[in-house]
Amino acid sequence: MPLLIVLIGIIVLLILMIHFKINGLISLIVVSLFVGIMEGMPILKVTKSIYNGVGGQLSSIALIVAFGAMFSKMLDECGAGQRIAMTLVQKFGLKRIQWAMMITAFILGITMFYEPAFVLLIPIVYSISSKTKVPLIVAGFPMSVGLSVTQCFLPPHPGPTAVANMYNASVGKTLLLGIIIAIPAALIVGILFSKTKLVRNAKCSIPEGLTAERVFSDEEMPSFSSSLSIALIPVVLMAFNTFAEIILPKTSKILVYTAFFGDAPIALLIAVLISMIVLGIRRGKDSDEIMKSFSEGVKSVAMIILIIGAGGAFKQVIVDAGVANYIKNIVGSLNVSPLILAWSIAATLRICIGSATVSVNAAAGIVLPLLSLGNVNPELMVLATASGSCICSHVNDPGFWMFKEYFNMPLSDAFRTRSTYTTILSLCGLAGVLILNIFI
């Protein structure tokens, strides 16, 4: 019965979001209330559980997402992202244009959200296509794949970071393991799959009115070395902390400092401060202009932060109502890997709901009890859940429509390309998790 109530709650969530078009924040809170009351919890305990869930989930996630948005905005508005893209295109040449766009998207995608990074890079794709006669899909498809890979697998993006917080997993270790999975997945989908007729024969063109995004002149952009080094600051700090934890003894005093500077919110804050000075003040921007950009960046992710908090509320209600133990007992009798179960639940929700952020948070609340079933690596559980949440992007996903409209594709071709490549990415992620699980 407890599990049946959760399943009914999931159905209610789907109806609210798909049929009534209610956003994820309201839908998740309503479903959390419904599940808690139906499970027999006192009303005041349900609300307290929701508040605790939101607060616990956003304890560090809010700072990560906010600082990430500020950092992303700075890289965009100073021309650093464009400098990285144009330099790599020049270095690789037209014959390897797909590699150039893939690597560019991967680098920028680690710290930039899919939508702003896509809007930043698409004018460059248009320019390359129009000036060199390289088909638009050839230059643009690897770019979209590279951004999707990082959004799906790698902290500090909201999905994997939020799940890492729920599972009490190391963000740094999740990042390193995610990169190990993300690189081959990006090559398989962005390079190999892009050469298939399914992708090459897709009809697309530069749409009228969508070429006006700002393109910086060479003098306006920072140097390539500055742009690249600043873009990678958070990754380097988090990775250094993870390596220090592996190499140094636990009694080492150095670990105190590496843990501080390698903590995701602090690493991003450092990146924001350095970018503000190097890419902003030193290049003629005043503080008011920079702060206005930062405010706009945070506004763009406010709903994402709230949805993540609502996902934490749903998780906490499941735990406090005793459903977590019930799920653990049921699943414990099944001869199925918790990693596969985590991926399957997240994938099902993603296909139905569309929002990867909502899907991964809702799935994590259900999957959380599986961590205590045995020797399951929490970082791999994060990646399994996140992989499931990126499957089969289609009409209920805003990213699907962005891809379709910017490439000016017929709906059928958008299905054949976007929906297919996100599904392959998800399966590559699951395969990578299962392979790593053999060795970890």
Q: pLDDT tens across 189-199, in order?
A: 999 999 999 99
Neighbours of 302 (CB within 10 A): 13
User: Per the structure block, which two tokens stand in for 31?
Assistant: 């479903």
pTM of the model: 0.81
What is the rounded distance in angstroms from the CA atom of residue 439 to the CA atom of residue 330? 27
The total number of structural domains in the chain stands at: 1
Q: What is the pLDDT of residue 212?
A: 46
Q: What is the pLDDT of residue 288?
A: 92
Q: What is the pLDDT of residue 211?
A: 53
Q: pLDDT tens across 19-28, in order?
A: 888 888 999 9
Three-class SS of the chain: CHHHHHHHHHHHHHHHHHHCCCCHHHHHHHHHHHHHHHCCCCHHHHHHHHHHHHHHHHHHHHHHHHHHHHHHHHHHHCCHHHHHHHHHHHHHCHHHHHHHHHHHHHHHHHHCCHHHHHHHHHHHHHHHHHHHCCCHHHHHHHHHHHHHHHHHHCCCCHHHHHHHHHHCCCHHHHHHHHHHHHHHHHHHHHHHHHHCHHHHCCCCCCCCCCCCCCCCCCCCCCCHHHHHHHHCHHHHHHHHHHHHHHHCCCCCCHHHHHHHHHCHHHHHHHHHHHHHHHHHHHHCCCHHHHHHHHHHHHHHCHHHHHHHHHHHHHHHHHHHCCHHHHHHHHHHCCCCCHHHHHHHHHHHHHHHHCCHHHHHHHHHHHHHHHHHCCCCCHHHHHHHHHHHCCCCCCCCCHHHHHHHHHCCCCHHHHHHHHHHHHHHHHHHHHHHHHHHHHHC
Q: What is the pLDDT of residue 199?
A: 94
Phi, psi dihedrals of residue 25, rounded to the nearest 5°: -60, -55
Q: pLDDT tens across 299-308, in order?
A: 878 888 898 8
Q: pLDDT tens across 243-280, in order?
A: 898 888 888 999 999 999 998 899 999 999 999 999 99
Q: What is the pLDDT of residue 373?
A: 66
Residue ranges making up the domain that contains 284: 2-439
Listed as ranges, residues in the chain with pLDDT below 70 are 209-214, 324, 327-334, 373-374
User: Taking phi first (over 0 means left), then psi (-120 to 50 degrees means alpha), and beta for anything else, what does residue 354 get?
Assistant: left
